[in-house]
């Protein structure tokens, strides 16, 4: 069974549990915390995946980090995962959970790459336009790149909306090259 | 000195850029997870279609074959060593397709329609998908027009009709390709004014070379050029050095190009040389994509691989324009084993087979067609009426000859009737021998088979048969040309014609003997 499949199953189980106990908001903010912690600390990820470190030690570490910060249900879930020897999958599981949560709440993630920082007005305009386009709430993350020369690129899931100058120039180059032999 | 005015340059630039709109470009992407051995796994591309073309960096294209839960499996048509993990892949939103059109004639292209003969770009207007569903029952009609191969043994006893699928099967080095090339060369007549007058429609040819040596392909192209056959032929090349995915789609491209001619009401002939190599290429791709192997490690759908290809050969109904696509698939057997997996599959799909034997080939019977086990299941309906009349007794005579041939080896005393059958058989076998790239027009075939089966050659030594046939046909052409003319136009062999042939033979026989004596 693929890793994604396993992560999906655990994430789904947690989701159902949280909804049944109507503590969905609390659990999802807990998981977000776990996700952010793990993403920022590579050491923690490596430690969890390492077969040399004993599970008891991993559990102890996780308990120490999260015990005081997250709800008992979330803590139990982490303990359960470690008990099942799936601690190496923890990162995938929380990632999957967040994806499921976004799907449930009707939120899509969009990455914006722009050549220069966007003003608040521009951001607001983009947000409105993309919410109209996708029919969902859009959560933006911004980054800068000189590579694209000008304009911006928005990526929503697998779809790219490319309004960068670099891409325009590439298209223009293709067009000129292709029509070259009919030009005389 | 000529000058270029700056405003002229800017005018041209403005014209070139006129159609260019700087709108937001929307496309779907994925990321390469794993690449190697001509296949790649891709994460993302969530809306991609099966058999859609996808674009890798550096203008390398691929085709999607597997849609898995968390990845997409695809084959790469090009140099996969240029692709790295993490590269971005773009959808093209069109299924694998190729350009088709008149401009393809006379060209050598790869299975994606890219010219490889160095004669510049091909200007076509239409794109057709490489994989198309075969037509249904309503759009078809039975095969009814002959496709002359120019090979006497085939046209007389294993006739092929336009829209038929006739397998050419045999060991290596038995002249399989030669049969196909002869057939293509023989279609030259159909493009002439003469053929137009007697109502024979031109046949456009496509030769698909799969997994062959580039040198062999170059030879074939040179031969086609030499005999003026390239004017109406396209050669599609997926040579042994091309990646397996290209070899796998080669025959489908050939069928697509053939269908273009068929759908515009014309007749086309496509040669798949050869399908055993295509099956091997497909096996390679399938195993790399981790599809479960079956018998001889071929995947489970290897039958479908060939059946969906050969089903595309068809004769369209008159309502659909009456075009046709004839397929001549080639299969190479190992040690004459026709009961191997791929040969039995293709035999069962096609409408008959031409079986070539190494023993006959080595004994000098060329083309080395074993007429005993070669059959054509539907071509009989399409056969020229005159040919049908003379071929009936030819088949019978040869069958009797084969039966008695074994006895003759004992060298015991044979009765007169047996001796007669044997000597006639030996002469007929000699008559069916034919040189490479020397297709014979159907009217000449009919006359020589008539003469052979009606015992006019009894008095001629076996080694003189070929010379007799050649000189007799020349004689008829000079003095009795009305015979050929009549057969060609009316396509029947009535009493009047047979009387003329009898007269010609009787006049020629004494003369031939004389030249024979003179030669000694």
Question: Is A161 near chain B, with CB under 8 Å?
Answer: yes
What's the CA gap between B474 and A153, in Å, rounded?
78
Taking 70 as the threshold, does the pLDDT of residue A183 lie above it?
no
Contact B143/B382 with Cβ under 8 angstroms?
yes
Per-residue pLDDT band at B512 (split at 50, 70, 90): confident
Contact in structure between B329 and B275 (CB atoms under 8 Å):
yes
- Of all residues in chain B, the percent with pLDDT exceeding 90 is 77
* Chain A with chain B: Cβ pairs closer than 8 A: 47
Assigned token pair, B161: 């009709």
Question: Measured between alpha carbons, how far is B245 from B74 in angstroms, rounded to an integer?
Answer: 10
Are residues B16 and A183, on separate chains, in Cβ contact within 8 Å?
Answer: yes
From A162's Cα to the closest Cα of chain B, the distance in A is 5
φ/ψ region of A62 (left if φ > 0, alpha if ψ in -120 to 50, else beta) reads alpha
Task: Give the pLDDT band of residue A181 (cuts 50, 70, 90).
Answer: very low
Pick the CATH number of A3-103 from 3.40.930.10, 1.20.1260.10, 1.10.520.20, 3.30.70.1230: 1.10.520.20
Q: What is the pLDDT of residue B514?
A: 64
- Strands B52-56 and B25-36 come out as unpaired
Asked if B26 and A4 come within 8 Å (Cβ–Cβ), the reply is no
* Per-position b or e across B246-255, b if 16+ CB within 10 A of its CB: bbbbbbbbbb
Q: Where are the domains of chain A?
A: 3-103, 107-183
Cα separation, A90 vs A95, in Å, equals: 9
Mean pLDDT, range A101-116, rounded to an integer: 90
Helix (H, G, I), strand (E, B) or coil at B29: strand
Over residues B268-310, the pLDDT tens digits come to: 999 999 999 999 999 999 999 999 999 999 999 999 999 999 9
Report how far residue B121's alpha carbon sits from residue A180's, in angstroms, rounded to the nearest whole number. 12
Integer CA distances (angstroms), B145 to A152, B91, B334, B462, in order = 63, 44, 34, 35
Interatomic CA distance for residues B12 and B61, integer angstroms: 32
- Contact state of B27 with A4 under an 8 Å Cβ cutoff: no
- Mean pLDDT for B122-147 is 93
A-chain residues near B8 (CB < 8 A): none
The confidence band for B418, taking pLDDT boundaries of 50, 70 and 90, is confident
What element of type H or E holds B89? strand B88-95
Least trusted range by pLDDT, from A2-16, B135-149, B366-380: A2-16
Interval A30-88: pLDDT, tens: 999 999 999 998 999 899 989 898 988 999 999 999 988 899 999 999 999 999 989 88
Q: Which of A63-72, A173-182, B103-112 has the weakest average pLDDT?
A: A173-182
**Residue B12 confidence (pLDDT):** 78
- Asked whether residue B357 carries a pLDDT value surpassing 50, the answer given is yes
* Per-residue tokens: B240: 């042994």
Q: pLDDT tens for residues A119-169?
A: 999 999 988 988 998 888 998 899 999 888 888 899 998 899 998 888 888
What gap in Å lies between CA B451 and CA B393, rounded to an integer?
12
Residue A1 above 70 pLDDT?
no
Structure tokens at A22: 């109507």
Q: Which chain B residue shows the shortest CA-CA distance from A168?
A: B22
Mutate to test the interface with B, among A113, A160, A169 (most CBs of B within 10 A): A160
Q: What is the rounded distance in angstroms from the CA atom of residue B160 to the CA atom of residue B177? A: 17
The residues near B126 (Cβ < 8 Å, ≥ 6 apart) are: B99, B100, B101, B260
Report the gap between the CA of B91 and the closest CA in chain A (Å): 10
What pLDDT sits at residue A168?
Answer: 87
DSSP characters over B461-514: -GGGHHHHHHHHHHHHHHH-HHHHHHHHHH----HHHHHHHHHHHHHHHHHHHH
Q: Which of residues 56-75 of B touch A (CB under 8 A)?
A: 69-70
What pLDDT is attached to residue B517? 59
Which residue in B12, B20, B45 is closest to A158 by CB distance? B45
- Cα separation, B38 vs B80, whole angstroms: 6
Do B66 and B73 contact (CB within 8 A), yes or no? Answer: yes
Please name the helix (run of DSSP H) or strand (run of DSSP E) that holds residue B92, with its range, or none.
strand B88-95
d(CA B503, CA B488): 19
CA B93 to chain centre: 32
Tokens of A141: 């993350």
Distance (Å, rounded) from C-alpha A9 to C-alpha A144? 36
With both helix axes pointing from N to C terminus, report the angle between B481-490 and B495-519 in degrees, rounded to the nearest 10.
Answer: 140
Contact indicator for B125, B101 with CB cutoff of 8 Å: yes
- Residues 6 or more apart whose Cβ sits within 8 Å of residue B284: B38, B244
What value does the CA radius of gyration of chain B take, rounded to a whole number of Å?
27
- CA B149/CA B164 separation, integer angstroms: 13
Q: Is B45 on the interface with A (CB under 8 A)?
A: yes
The predicted model gives B187-191 an average pLDDT of 95
Instruction: Say whether residue A168 is in contact with chain B using an 8 A CB cutoff.
Output: yes
DSSP B53-71: EEEEGGGEEEEEEEE-SS-
The secondary structure of residue B133, as a DSSP letter, is: P
Confidence band, pLDDT 50/70/90 cuts, at residue B21 = low
pLDDT of residue A113: 92
pLDDT of B87: 94
Provide, rounded to the nearest whole percent, the portion of chain B with pLDDT above 70.
97
- The pLDDT, as a whole number, for residue B430 is 93
DSSP alpha helices (H): ranges in chain A?
Answer: 3-20, 24-40, 42-49, 55-66, 72-83, 90-105, 120-134, 165-178
Give B236 or B402, the one with higher predicted confidence: B236
Chain B residues touching residue A176 (CB < 8 angstroms): 16
Q: List the structure tokens of A173.
A: 């180059």
Chain-centroid distance of CA B366 in Å reads 19
- Parallel, antiparallel, or unpaired: how do β-strands B39-44 and B52-56 relate? unpaired
User: Which residues of B are marked as active site?
Assistant: 377
- Residue A179 is predicted with a pLDDT of 60
Residue B520 has pLDDT above 60, yes or no: no
What token pair was written down for B18? 């006129």
Q: Crossing angle of helices B385-408/B416-432, nearest 10°?
A: 120
Q: Which two tokens stand for residue B464?
A: 């003189």
| pLDDT computed for residue B144 by the predictor | 93
Burial of residue A161, with CB atoms counted within 10 A of its CB: 0-12 exposed, 13-18 middle, 19 or more buried: buried
Give yes or no for residue B224 having a pLDDT over 50. Answer: yes
Among candidates A160, A171, A176 on the partner chain, residue whose Cβ is nearest the Cβ of B29: A160
Positions of E strands within B408-453: none
Q: What is the mean pLDDT of residues B196-202?
A: 91
State the angle between helix axes of B495-519 and B465-479 in degrees (0 to 180), rounded to the nearest 10: 120
Give pLDDT, residue B491: 87
The model's confidence at residue B32, banded by pLDDT at 50, 70 and 90, is very high
Question: Closest Cα of chain A to B229: distance in Å?
Answer: 29
Contact B234, B109 (CB under 8 A): yes
> How many beta carbons lie within 10 A of that of residue B156, not counting itself?
27
pTM over 0.80: yes
Backbone angles phi, psi at A38, to 5 degrees: -70, -35
Residue A43: exposed, middle, or buried by beta-carbon count in 10 A (0-12, 13-18, 19+)?
exposed
pLDDT for B2 beyond 90: no
Q: Is the pLDDT of residue B515 over 80?
A: no
The partner residues of B314 in beta bridges, in order of sequence, read: B325
**B contact residues 289-308, partner A, Cβ 8 Å cutoff:** none
Q: What pLDDT does residue B267 have?
A: 96
CA distance B307 to B342: 11
Centre a 10 Å sphere on the Cβ of residue A142 and count the other Cβ atoms it contains.
Answer: 14
Give the confidence band of B14 by pLDDT, cuts at 50, 70, 90.
confident
C-alpha–C-alpha distance, residues B193 and B492, integer Å: 21
State phi, psi for B118 to the nearest 5 degrees: 70, 20
Buried b (16+ CB within 10 A) or exposed e, B32-51: beebeebbbbbbbbeebeeb
- What pLDDT score was predicted for residue B490? 87
Confidence at residue B269, expressed as pLDDT on a 0 to 100 scale:
97
From the centroid of its chain, how far is CA A132?
22
**Residue range B247-260: mean pLDDT, rounded:** 96
């Amino acid at each position: 069974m693929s890793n994604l499949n396993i992560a999906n199953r655990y994430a789904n189980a947690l989701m159902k549990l949280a909804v049944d106990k109507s503590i969905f908001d609390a659990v999802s903010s807990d998981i977000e915390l776990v996700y952010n912690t793990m993403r920022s600390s590579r050491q923690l990820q490596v430690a969890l995946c390492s077969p040399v470190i004993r599970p008891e030690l991993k559990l102890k570490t996780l308990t120490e980090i999260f015990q005081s910060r997250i709800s008992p249900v979330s803590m139990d879930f982490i303990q359960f995962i470690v008990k099942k020897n799936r601690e190496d999958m923890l990162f995938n599981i929380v990632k999957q959970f967040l994806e499921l949560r976004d799907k449930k709440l009707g939120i899509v993630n969009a990455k914006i790459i722009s050549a220069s920082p966007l003003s608040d007005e521009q951001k607001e305009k983009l947000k409105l336009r993309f919410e109209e386009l996708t029919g969902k709430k859009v959560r933006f993350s911004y980054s800068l790149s000189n590579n694209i020369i000008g304009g911006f690129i928005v990526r929503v899931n697998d779809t790219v909306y490319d309004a960068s100058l670099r891409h325009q120039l590439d298209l223009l180059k293709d067009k000129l090259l292709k029509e070259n032999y009919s030009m005389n | 000195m000529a000058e270029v005015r700056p405003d002229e340059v800017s005018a041209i630039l403005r014209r070139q850029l006129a159609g260019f709109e700087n709108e937001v470009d929307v496309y779907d992407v994925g990321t390469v997870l794993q690449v190697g051995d001509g296949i790649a796994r891709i994460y993302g591309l969530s809306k991609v279609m099966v058999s859609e073309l996808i674009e890798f960096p550096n203008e390398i294209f691929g085709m999607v074959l597997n849609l898995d839960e968390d990845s997409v499996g695809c084959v790469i048509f090009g140099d996969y060593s240029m692709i790295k993990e993490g590269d971005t892949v773009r959808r093209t939103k069109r299924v694998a397709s190729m350009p088709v059109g008149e401009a393809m004639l006379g060209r050598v292209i790869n299975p994606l329609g890219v010219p490889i003969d160095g004669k510049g770009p091909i200007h076509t207007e239409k794109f057709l998908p490489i994989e198309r569903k075969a037509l249904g029952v309503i759009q078809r009609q039975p095969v009814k027009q002959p496709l002359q191969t120019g090979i006497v043994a085939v046209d007389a006893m294993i006739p092929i009709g336009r829209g038929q699928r006739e397998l050419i099967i045999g060991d290596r080095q038995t002249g399989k390709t030669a049969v196909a090339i002869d057939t293509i060369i023989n279609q030259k007549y159909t493009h002439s004014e003469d053929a137009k007058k007697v109502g024979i429609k031109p046949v456009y040819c496509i030769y698909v070379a799969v997994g062959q040596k580039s040198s062999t392909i170059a030879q074939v192209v040179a031969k086609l050029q030499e005999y003026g056959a390239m004017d109406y032929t396209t050669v599609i090349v997926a040579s042994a050095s091309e990646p397996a995915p290209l070899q796998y789609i080669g025959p489908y491209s050939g069928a697509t190009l053939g269908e273009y001619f068929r759908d515009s009401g014309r007749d086309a002939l496509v040669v798949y040389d050869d399908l055993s190599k295509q099956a091997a290429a497909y096996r390679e791709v399938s195993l790399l994509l981790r599809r479960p192997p079956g018998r001889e490690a071929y995947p489970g759908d290897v039958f479908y691989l060939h059946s969906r290809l050969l089903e595309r050969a068809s004769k369209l109904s008159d309502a659909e324009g009456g075009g046709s696509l004839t397929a001549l698939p080639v299969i190479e057997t190992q040690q004459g084993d026709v009961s191997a997996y791929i040969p039995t599959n293709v035999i069962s799909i096609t409408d008959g087979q031409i079986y070539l034997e190494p023993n006959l080939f080595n004994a000098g019977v060329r083309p080395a067609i074993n007429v005993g086990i070669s059959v054509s299941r539907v071509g009989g309906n399409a056969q020229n009426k005159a040919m049908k009349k003379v071929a009936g007794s030819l088949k019978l005579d040869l069958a009797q000859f084969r039966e008695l041939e074994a006895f003759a080896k004992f060298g015991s005393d044979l009765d007169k009737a047996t001796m007669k059958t044997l000597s006639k058989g030996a002469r007929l076998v000699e008559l069916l021998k034919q040189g490479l790239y020397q297709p014979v027009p159907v009217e000449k075939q009919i006359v020589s088979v008539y003469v052979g089966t009606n015992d006019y050659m009894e008095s001629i030594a076996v080694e003189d048969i070929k010379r007799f046939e050649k000189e007799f046909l020349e004689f008829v052409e000079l003095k009795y040309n009305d015979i050929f003319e009549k057969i060609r136009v009316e396509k029947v062999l009535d009493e009047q014609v047979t009387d003329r042939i009898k007269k010609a033979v009787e006049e020629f026989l004494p003369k031939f003997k004389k030249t024979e004596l003179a030669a000694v």
